[in-house]
Structure 1
Amino acid sequence: MLLKDDTKVLVVSAPGGFGKTTLAKKFCHDNEIKGIFGDNILFVTVSSETSLTSIAQSLFKHYDITKLSIS
């Protein structure tokens, strides 16, 4: 479903312990998926304590964007 041109978002939801993270990790390690998305596969921890700034900083670090900063 995610690889169809008309699919913009795919939501996977379930209570904790049902394997959502395991599914995402296995999906992202698939050779076909790696071939399509390359280095644009990231895992960012998002929790109630995570801020948008910390997520953006993680993205900047991953893509080695050193000229931009968030304040």
Structure 2
Amino acid sequence: MAKKTKKEENPKVNPELDGFKMNINSFGEISSSFSIDKINDFLNKNVDDKKLKDREDLQDIKKDKKK
């Protein structure tokens, strides 16, 4: 029987994260093609924090940013 080879496909991602790659080396260290600051900025813009969604003061801040 022939051994099947895995074909690497790039996952579908948001255009802002195009080219994003993460690797874990043999020591368990995570390396990324983007800086942590860039990833955090993307997450802050696009993902709501479940723990903070009920706070009234944060809703006021979000409204000010959208203006």
Question: Do they superpose with TM above 0.5?
Answer: no
Larger proportion of strand:
2
Select the structure of larger CA radius of gyration: 2
Q: TM-score, normalised by structure 1?
A: 0.27
Please report the TM-score for the alignment, with normalisation by the length of structure 2.
0.29
